[in-house]
Structure 1
Amino acid sequence: YQMERLVEAGLVRHIGTSNMTIPKLKLLLRDARIMPSANEMELHPCFQQPELFNFCMEHGIQPIGFCPIGSPTRPDRDKTPDDVVDIEDPVVVKIAKAHNVHPAVICLKWAVQRGQIPIPFSIHRHEYASNLRCTIEDPLTEEEMKELETVDKNCRLIKGQVFLWEGAKGWEDLWDVDGEITR
């Protein structure tokens, strides 16, 4: 409700959320007077979160995807043996070769054409322009978009284990994997 006061005071235009699951968003939508306009969440070809993505779209909440190319350079402390690297996925690589671009470009094109706003990490000015340009040039075909749906491995890369509370069983508790909010 404090963010709603900021909107009413004209200090902010929109309210956004981050890392909200469907159960948490349902509670928010039930109780909020001003609906969130965006939800930032991990979204990349190997972690498409179709249920959450569709829930957001159906409720007018813009999905904003962090780690849109996966997160191949994240710290080792955040990696697990089951993690995958999106830009090495054979389908992503094949489509990249067909477009004569780096696989990361395909991940960004996929994100934008899907309807999400990707926020790739970069510290280099030339990458900013390249990231923007690639999303409006040489779009993926419907067939390529369908192929990219098949690379979803439900592989969360940013698990959030650093945010665990006393009594949590594991990082899965953060994400309501069974559809219920863990307390």
Structure 2
Amino acid sequence: MLLNGAVKIVKIHWPVSLKRGSIGFKPEYLTQPDIPSTWRAMETLYDSGKARAIGVSNFSTKKLRDLLKVARVPPAVNQVECHPSWQQPQLHSFCKSNGVHLSAYAPMGSPGGTSGKSRQLLKDPVLNMIAEKLGKSPAQVALRWGLQMGHSVLPKSTNEGRLKENFDVFDWSIPEDLFAKFSEIEQVRLVTGSNFVHETFGAYRSLEELWDGEI
């Protein structure tokens, strides 16, 4: 996004690196990422005024902690998968205590997900119970949960009716007794990043390594 001639925000999209000149994606293109050097380059971009803010995406608590140790300009945001069935309490707490905004992509879940899982958040019985009690749709309740957690939420839709529904989440709230029910929802990561895990190439040999145990 451009704002007065400057990019509004620049982010490291995944904590991975590909060989220079790579076109498309193949596992053999994966290399060892140098996050500190990449961040220094982004700080230079920020200093020049060409970016209004710099941030990261898909960083675990550990990776974010390691970055903050070397960052002169701390990341403004960490954009991650976050929704009622993947609440990320440890990461949420760390971001909040360190002044890093948590921005939630797939805030209504990701049906099927890149992991191939078929479970869909909007069919979750707890979410549907809360929605019925409030007279709202499950999608609205999922979005409202994110807003009340203090996240920004990034839903995607091309359906005009759903777009209007998604905007109707600001003049009501989930009461405390129902908000507590979200702890009963089964937790599962849908966007695993499995493409970046390989036994030979790149930095990560398992999903445990990629997410530093936050799976």
Q: What is the TM-score when the length of structure 1 is the normalising length? A: 0.86
SS at match of 1:14: strand
Specify the alignment match of 2:42 in structure 1. Answer: 3
Q: For the residues of structure 2 that align with 1:112 and 1:8, how far apart are their CA atoms?
A: 31
SS at match of 2:208: helix
Specify the alignment match of 2:211 in structure 1. Answer: 175
Specify the alignment match of 1:161 in structure 2. Answer: 194
**1:18, distance to aligned residue in structure 2 (A):** 0.3
1:64 paired to 2:98: no
Change (3 A) 1:158 1:142: same
What count of residue pairs does the alignment treat as equivalent?
173
Specify the alignment match of 1:145 in structure 2. Answer: 179
Specify the alignment match of 1:122 in structure 2. Answer: 157
Change (3 A) 1:26 1:175: same
Specify the alignment match of 2:75 in structure 1. Answer: 36
Structure 2 residue runs without a partner (length 5+): 1-39
**1:175, distance to aligned residue in structure 2 (A):** 0.7
Name the one with the larger strand percent: 2
Instruction: Kindly name which structure, 1 or 2, has the bigger radius of gyration based on alpha carbons.
Output: 2
Structure 1 residue runs without a partner (length 5+): none
Deviations 1:84-106 (A, max 9, x none): 32212211101111122221111
Q: What is the TM-score when the length of structure 2 is the normalising length? A: 0.74
Q: For the residues of structure 2 that align with 1:23 and 1:170, how far apart are their CA atoms?
A: 16
Q: For the residues of structure 1 that align with 2:157 and 2:176, how far apart are their CA atoms?
A: 29
Deviations 1:116-138 (A, max 9, x none): 1111121234433331222x022
Q: For the residues of structure 2 that align with 1:160 and 1:148, how far apart are their CA atoms?
A: 25
1:110 paired to 2:145: yes
Change (3 A) 1:145 1:157: same
SS at match of 2:53: coil
SS at match of 2:131: helix
**1:73, distance to aligned residue in structure 2 (A):** 5.1
Change (3 A) 1:25 1:106: same
RMSD of equivalent CA atoms: 2.0
Change (3 A) 1:93 1:178: closer
Q: For the residues of structure 2 that align with 1:73 and 1:102, how far apart are their CA atoms?
A: 20
Q: For the residues of structure 2 that align with 1:178 and 1:157, how far apart are their CA atoms?
A: 13
**1:55, distance to aligned residue in structure 2 (A):** 0.2
Contact 2:112-2:119 at 8 Å conserved across structures: no
Letter in 1 for 2:207: W
